[in-house]
Structure 1
Amino acid sequence: MPEPLTESSRNQRPLVLGSTSPYRRELLARLGLPFGTAAPQVDETPLPGEAPRQLALRLALAKAREVAAREPGAVVIGSDQVADLDGQPLGKPGSHERATAQLRRMRGHAVTFHTAVAVVCRETGFEQVELAEVHVRFRNLSDAEIERYLRAEQPYDCAGSAKSEGLGISLLEAIDSDDPTALIGLPLIRTCRLLRAAGLTLP
C-alpha cells in the first residue's frame, strides 16, 4: 500500500503508476510516495522487425503518454519489460503451454531482460525514458524441473516466464544488472532518477 502523505509530499504533483501489475505496485511503494494507478490502453503488439530493446522503450513511453493524456497534472510512470533470446522477443506467456515452450528455449542460454521506464507530465512538458538491461543465464533445466516450477509458481503474466522474486530464482545460474529491481519489472534506481528530474522530492 502507498505510504500516507508527508509534509514534503503534500506540495508535489500527484504520482500515477501507469500499470496494473502488482509487482510494479509493490516496488514503487518502497519509495514511500503516495501514488495512484491507472491501466494504460496500449496495443503491445511488436512492430515488424522491432528489436526487443526498442519494443520495451516504445511501450513504456506509450503507456506513460496514454495515462498522462487522461491525468495531465500528474507525474506518470510507464514501464515495460521484454525478454530477449538471441534477438527474439519473449513476452508474457499467458498459458502453461507457452510458458513451457519459453523455458525449454531458454534453458542453458543467456537471456537479456530489457526493462524500460518512462516518466511523463503533460502540464510541464516533461518526458524521459530509460532502459535497464538484466543479463540472466538459465540453468540447463530438465523438463521435470520446468513442469514443477510452472505448477508451483504459475508465472504466466511474467515476461519470459521467469518470476525471479519467487521460485524462479531457482532456474538461474547468474544475474548481472546495475539496477537490481529491473528484473522484477520496475528499475527503481532509474525510476528515482527520472522522478527527481520531473520535480519530485526523494527520499
Structure 2
Amino acid sequence: MHNPIVLASTSIYRRQCLEKLCLDFSCRSPNIDESPRLDESAEQLVKRLALEKAKACRLTHTPEWIIGSDQVAVIDGHIIGKPLTIAKAQQQLAAASGQAVTFYTGLALFDSVTGNHQVICEPFTVNFRQLTAAQIAHYIEKEQPLYCAGSFKCEGLGISLFESLCGRDPNSLIGLPLIGLCDMFAQVGIDVLGAHLLD
C-alpha cells in the first residue's frame, strides 16, 4: 500500500472534491501566512502557498503524501482573494460582472520523508453574466461565499453567475484540480483507478 494521504486543508469543499477519487485520506490545517509577496504574480503566489501549506502539515518521521492547494482570482490584472466580508464580496462580484475572470489554482504533492515535491498551477477562466446589484446581494445572502476566492461557490448557486467556463478541469474552481492531481499520483506510483502502486 502507498503512504497515507493528507489533504492540507480544512475546507469542506476541497475535502468533498478529493472524495471523488475514492481514496482514503485525512485532513490537517496548514495554518500559514497567505499574504502575497511584493511583485509576486498570481501563478507564483498560488504555487508557493500550495507547497508551503503541504510542508506546514508535515509530521516528523511520518511517511505521507501531503496535498497542498491555494487559489486566487485575477480581475483586470489584480489578484483577488477571499472576500471575508459581505461588502468585499459585493465589490468582487460587481467587478466580475460581464468580465472574463481567470482563477489560478496552485497544487502541490509533497513527500514528507524525502521532501521531494511536484507543483503546478492550473488556470481556469470564467465568463460572468452581467449582474445587477440586486442579483449580487441575493446571491451573497443565499450562499455566503465569504471564504471563497472570487466570492462564489460554483458547486452551488454560483453556477448561475456564469455565461461560460473555459479550462481543463472544472474541479479547479473548487480549489483542487483533480486531473492534475491524478497525474502527480501517477508520477509517484499511485494508480488512482486501482488505488495501488503501479508496477
- Scaled by the length of structure 2, what TM-score is found? 0.93
Shift of 1:71: 6.7
Counterpart residue number, 1:28: 18
Using the alignment, how far apart are the partners of 1:74 and 1:48 within structure 2? 33
Of 19, 33, 47, 2:9 maps to 19
Which segments of structure 1 move beyond 3 Å, counting only runs of 4 or more?
Answer: 69-72
Of 145, 148, 157, 1:158 maps to 148
Count of residue pairs brought into register by the alignment: 193
Amino acid at match of 1:162: F
Of 27, 31, 34, 1:44 maps to 34
Using the alignment, how far apart are the partners of 1:25 and 1:68 within structure 2? 18
Deviations 1:144-194 (A, max 9, x none): 110111111111111010211111111111100111211111000001111
Q: CA RMSD in A?
A: 1.3
Shift of 1:72: 4.1
Using the alignment, how far apart are the partners of 1:65 and 1:199 within structure 2? 21
Using the alignment, how far apart are the partners of 2:71 and 2:22 within structure 1? 23
Cα separation, partners in 2 of 1:28 and 1:47, compared to 1, 3 Å: same
Gaps spanning 5+ residues in structure 2: where? Answer: 194-199
Kindly indicate whether the alpha-carbon contact (under 8 Å) linking 1:51 and 1:87 is maintained by their aligned counterparts in 2. Answer: no
Identity among equivalent pairs (%): 45
Q: Which moved more, 1:118-127 or 1:154-163?
A: 118-127
Of 191, 196, 200, 2:190 maps to 200
Cα separation, partners in 2 of 1:172 and 1:71, compared to 1, 3 Å: farther
Shift of 1:109: 0.9
Kindly indicate whether the alpha-carbon contact (under 8 Å) linking 2:109 and 2:118 is maintained by their aligned counterparts in 1. Answer: yes
Q: Which moved more, 1:192-201 or 1:100-109?
A: 192-201
Cα separation, partners in 2 of 1:147 and 1:119, compared to 1, 3 Å: same
Cα separation, partners in 2 of 1:35 and 1:109, compared to 1, 3 Å: same
Amino acid at match of 1:119: L
- Scaled by the length of structure 1, what TM-score is found? 0.91
